[in-house]
Amino acid sequence: MTKQLRQSTIRWPGVGAFFIIIALLVGFSFLLLDTIIKWTLESSLGTLNRAEVNIESVAHGWVPLSLTVSGVQVTDPAQPENNRVVVNELRGDLDLGELLVGRVIFDQLNVTGIRVNQPRRSPGEVYTQLTKDEVSQAASERWASLKMELPSMDDVMAQVDLQTDIVIERAKTNLDEQKQKLKQTRDALPSSEQLAEYETKVKELLDGDIESATELAARREQLEALKARFRADRDSVKAFKTQVETAKEIVQSDISALRQAPEEDLQKIKSFMSFDATGLENITALIFGEQIRSWSKYVLLAYEQLAPMLQRADDNTEQGPLRGEGVWFTFMEANAPPEFLVRNAVTEFAFGETILDVNWQNITHQHTQLGQPTTFQARADNSAIWDSFNLTGEMALKDNGFDARQQWQLKGAKLNDIGLSDRAEFMATMAATLLDSEGSVAVRNGLLDGDASVRLAELKINASGDSRWAELLSQALGKLNRLDIRTEIGGELTAPTLSLNSDLDRQLGDALRSTATDAAQTKLATLQQDLTAQVNAVIADQSPELAGLVDLEGLASSKDAKLEDLLKSQLEDKLKDKLKDRLLKKIGGG
């Protein structure tokens, strides 16, 4: 206790120790500053990218304050075995005055050797994304939809419900049915003898002498009774005529159906032998999709790479549970200058040996504070691999979301040995072509909307495969000289979707369908002969029946006419005249 009282509250050696510790920390940090910056950049860029980011080295300079970052590899979260972007070197000059007040302002940033979609030595770590299997599976499913075999004749026959047999059966049944009905109505017809008897009776009634008015009345009564029977018989004749007409129509219709049935069945078989149309619709996307998707990474680079990073940089709600991460909140006033700004930047994209410089202005995630959008332009004419290229665009992250637009024109790009498919079942390479493309794409509320045309001229495609369909596809592709592909760009900013269509779908579809039909031509001819023979046999049976029906129709008409004549018979005037003569004779004689 006594010892404690003698001690001062201040531990003076501690002051020295403090400064030594601080000096050591500062010295340590100073010596390892580049490594610390490298780790920090890898960590923060990795978080923004949602997948591993590797940096080869970082170097800083004090006068002027600058930073040089070399060998940047940004893993593609969708394809961890690939880098979405590789940057050879990034060098920026920092504004020291702004840095002291907490703002990172680059007056000039130069980025060289940018390449997209490059393979990695080993797959990068993905923090949140589709697994490789899922991506691979999706690709396999797309090819599986096309990888179909030519259907055999037997397969088709098993699936096709042939109509010829049914039509033959129906014709036979109809004929029997009509024959039965005709027989019933024919039995009710007055016979020829009966008609002759009617004529005799009518003649007797009209031609005999009449003695009195009473006899006249009796004959009239008999004639009326006969006419009633004529009418009944005429109704039977009419019913028969109607039945004959119906039967004739049905038989004619059946014969017509019989004649058409074999052809219709053959057409149906041919249509069954063609490929599934939905599979064919994707041929353009299947063959050229991966390559165009790869090219689109250049076109959409500004959106796909930079925009999501800027958005996430501005996102205060993102959770960061790891030690030391957390969330950095921003409390900027509306008129405050942005905290991060690259006033001017030149990004140098490498396409093989050709270099394309893209000039940027005002790269930031705080466009509201800046009051201007980020703009970019690139123009390069008469380069080694194209005749002309022009790209302009702008983008801004505003309160209501990401807003951007860009347009481009590319003419005369010379492409050689571009791999289209390296699958074992179907290998395809675009040996040479001249590519023109133009289009525009905009972003509203994080959604892409745009279209582009890709015109391939002087096209030469080498393709091969073991299966029959691959062989057919290869032949059809080999004949292509020119192809126009229309591309629609849509989907979310972070996951753009491309839909491709071209005349290729129709060309290949027709070729494949025709080949499939040709392969079965012999069997089809045999089938056609069989069906025609069956039908002809039935038609041979039906034709006399049809002729008989025509005869019956004539018979019915003649009976109808005869009954009509009988019904027209008039008793009154003739008999009245006879009776009048007799009475006059009696009066004159008396």
C-alpha to C-alpha distance for 304 and 310, rounded to whole angstroms = 11
Q: Which of 91, 94, 107, 13 is nearest to 58 (CA)?
A: 91
Least CB distance to other proteins at residue 34 (A): 17
**44/68 with CB nearer other proteins:** 44
Q: Which is nearer to other proteins, 27 or 320 (CB)?
A: 320
Tell me how far, at minimum, the Cβ of 331 lies from other proteins, in Å: 4
Between 100 and 540, name the residue whose CB sits nearer to other proteins.
100
Radius of gyration for the chain, computed over Cα atoms and rounded to the nearest angstrom:
48
As measured in angstroms, the least distance from the Cβ of 280 to other proteins is 53
Q: Who's near 304: CB < 8 A, 6+ residues apart?
A: 84, 297, 493, 494, 496
Instruction: Rank residues 27 and 326 by Cβ distance to other proteins and give the closer one.
Output: 326
Shorter beta-carbon distance to other proteins: residue 44 or 246: 44
User: Which residue(s) pair with 143 in the sheet?
Assistant: none
What is the token pair recorded at 325?
Answer: 């991460």
Instruction: Please report where in the chains the tokens 């690939």 appear, as a residue.
Output: 82
* Shortest distance in whole angstroms from residue 97 CB to other proteins: 11
- The reply to whether omega before 64 is within 30° of 0 (cis) is yes
DSSP label at residue 150: P
In terms of Cα–Cα distance, which of 65, 69, 62 is closest to 98? 65
**Cis amide linkage into residue 321, ω under 30° from 0:** no
Residue 304 or 339: the one with the smaller Cβ distance to other proteins is 339
CB of 366 to other proteins, least distance (A): 13
The residue (of 314 and 505) whose beta carbon lies closer to other proteins is 314
Nearer to other proteins, 220 or 312 (CB): 312
Give the up-direction half-sphere exposure of residue 45: CA atoms within 13 A in the CB hemisphere: 19
Q: Which two tokens stand for residue 41?
A: 């950049």
* Minimum distance from residue 5 beta carbon to other proteins (Å): 11
Phi, psi of 423 (to 5 degrees): -75, 150
Least spacing, CB of residue 32 vs other proteins, in Å:
13
Pairing of strands 374-381, 388-398: antiparallel
CA distances from 35 to 43, 55, 56, 69, 590 (A): 12, 10, 10, 11, 163
Report in angstroms how near the CB of residue 298 gets to other proteins at its nearest: 37
* DSSP state string for 56-79: EEEEEETTTTEEEEEEEEEEETTE
Residue 111 backbone dihedrals phi, psi, to 5 degrees: -120, 125
Where does this chain bind other proteins (CB under 8 A)? 1, 3-4, 7-11, 14-15, 17-18, 21-22, 100-102, 316, 319-333, 336
Retrieve residue 297's tokens. Answer: 């990474």
DSSP assignment of 262-278 equals HHHHHHHHHHHHSPPHH
Quick one: 25 or 196, whose CB is closer to other proteins? Answer: 25
Least distance in angstroms from the C-beta of 489 to other proteins: 37
Can you read off the two tokens belonging to residue 83? 């880098």
Cβ nearer to other proteins, comparing 213 with 327? 327
Residue closer to other proteins, measured from CB, 3 or 121:
3
Please check whether residue 363 is in contact with residue 341, taking contact to mean a CB–CB distance below 8 angstroms.
yes
CA pair distance 538, 412, nearest whole angstrom: 66
Least distance to other proteins from the beta carbon of 327, Å?
Answer: 5
Residue closer to other proteins (CB basis): 327 or 495? 327
Least gap, CB of 3 to other proteins (angstroms) = 7
Name the minimum Å distance from CB 49 to other proteins: 21
Q: Tell which phi-psi region holds residue 173, choosing left (phi > 0), alpha (psi between -120 and 50) or beta.
A: alpha
How far apart are the C-alpha atoms of 202 and 227, rounded to whole Å?
Answer: 9
